[in-house]
Copies of this chain bind each other. A is one copy, B any other.
Amino acid sequence: MNAEKLILEGNRVADSIKGKLMDRITKLSKKGIVPCLATILVGENPSSKTYVRMKGNACRRLGMKSIRIDLPADITTDELLSQIHKLNHDPAVHGILLQHPVPHHIDERTAFDAISIEKDVDGVTTLGYALNAFGAAKFPSCTPAAIMAILEYYELQVEGKHAVVIGRSPILGKPVSAMLLNKNATVTTCHSRTINLEDIVRLGDIVVAAVGKPNFVRGDWIKPGAVVLDAGYNEGNIGDVDFNECLQDAYAITPVPAGVGPVTIATLLKHTVDAAERSLNS
């Protein structure tokens, strides 16, 4: 029915990334090192709990270590910072992930920036953001990096294309705009105050949806032949893109689930292995 359509299968991309990690993990283990990701979860948000569990399981399946730190929702920013400092100084921990979002009374930006740049495998620090924008990041944010990995895996051209990013968060819309720009796309960043959003999206050869609203991007917003990447993940496994509608005119499209999500997790594992290797050389 849609034989000419390219469904961008996140699990294939993720397997390709993870496949290349096996040897590296084995080599590290011969040197007595098990790449270790510490995840911090503050409070009881059910989606966050699921994400953290998925990340931990993914680590263990590859023979990596995962430490999970669960903190009560009423923890103070200072208490959270002291946990992060402990992990920064623990040589057995190579990557630190603070699950977003944290409860409102916590200063998330300060907490993110407390993560040592060597262990910021989720790419959330302010400095990491700028290094990424300058094309020099150790660890770009995982979801933007996953989007770039999908484009690369399927050999979809970025250079010279007009990419339209819907969303401007510091860990998704802004860094993915920067990464597309660094790959020589012409990049338009849209957001909640954009006027005539549909018309702008319709300019996109590449469309990245990072809005956080279920089925927000509609079929008639898509330029025929566009590549559509859905970074949304809303309740009930629903993306930001109306998949069935957008499939009609798109040339290639990520589904939700099994699109960007698994590649994000694979990217996080890769960054943790990178960090473990670097810890050897430092």
Q: Which residues of A are in contact with B by a Cβ distance under 8 Å?
A: 109, 126-127, 129-131, 133-134, 159-162, 168, 170, 174, 177-178, 181, 184, 186-191, 193-195, 200, 203
Contact, CB under 8 Å: B200 / A170: no
A133–B171 alpha-carbon span in the complex (Å): 12
The answer to whether residues A188 and B191 also contact, given A126-B131, A130-B126 and a CB cut-off of 8 A, is no
Residues of B within 8 A of A170 (CB): 133-134
A187–B191 alpha-carbon span in the complex (Å): 10
Main secondary structure of the interface of A (DSSP, over half): mixed
The 27 listed contacts between A and B (C-beta, < 8 Å) are A109-B134, A126-B134, A127-B127, A127-B130, A129-B133, A129-B134, A130-B130, A133-B133, A133-B170, A133-B174, A134-B170, A160-B193, A160-B195, A162-B195, A174-B181, A177-B189, A181-B189, A181-B191, A184-B191, A184-B193, A186-B189, A186-B193, A186-B194, A186-B195, A187-B188, A188-B188, A188-B189
Nearest B residue to A193 via CB reads B184
Residues of B within 8 A of A127 (CB): 126-127, 130
Nearest B residue to A135 via CB reads B170
User: Can you name 8 extra interface pairs (CB under 8 A) apart from A133-B174, A174-B181?
Assistant: A127-B130, A129-B130, A130-B133, A133-B133, A160-B194, A161-B195, A184-B191, A188-B189
A241–B186 alpha-carbon span in the complex (Å): 20
Residues of B within 8 A of A131 (CB): 126
Residues of B within 8 A of A130 (CB): 126-127, 129-130, 133
A188–B180 alpha-carbon span in the complex (Å): 12
Nearest B residue to A197 via CB reads B186
A200–B133 alpha-carbon span in the complex (Å): 22
A238–B14 alpha-carbon span in the complex (Å): 51
A117–B57 alpha-carbon span in the complex (Å): 41
Nearest B residue to A129 via CB reads B130
Residues of B within 8 A of A168 (CB): 181
Residues of B within 8 A of A160 (CB): 193-195
Residues of B within 8 A of A178 (CB): 174
Residues of B within 8 A of A189 (CB): 177, 181, 186-188
A131–B126 alpha-carbon span in the complex (Å): 7
Residues of B within 8 A of A186 (CB): 188-191, 193-195, 200
Nearest B residue to A174 via CB reads B133
The answer to whether residues A200 and B159 also contact, given A129-B134, A181-B168, A189-B181 and a CB cut-off of 8 A, is no
Nearest B residue to A126 via CB reads B130
A56–B168 alpha-carbon span in the complex (Å): 38
Nearest B residue to A131 via CB reads B126
Nearest B residue to A194 via CB reads B186
A162–B161 alpha-carbon span in the complex (Å): 18
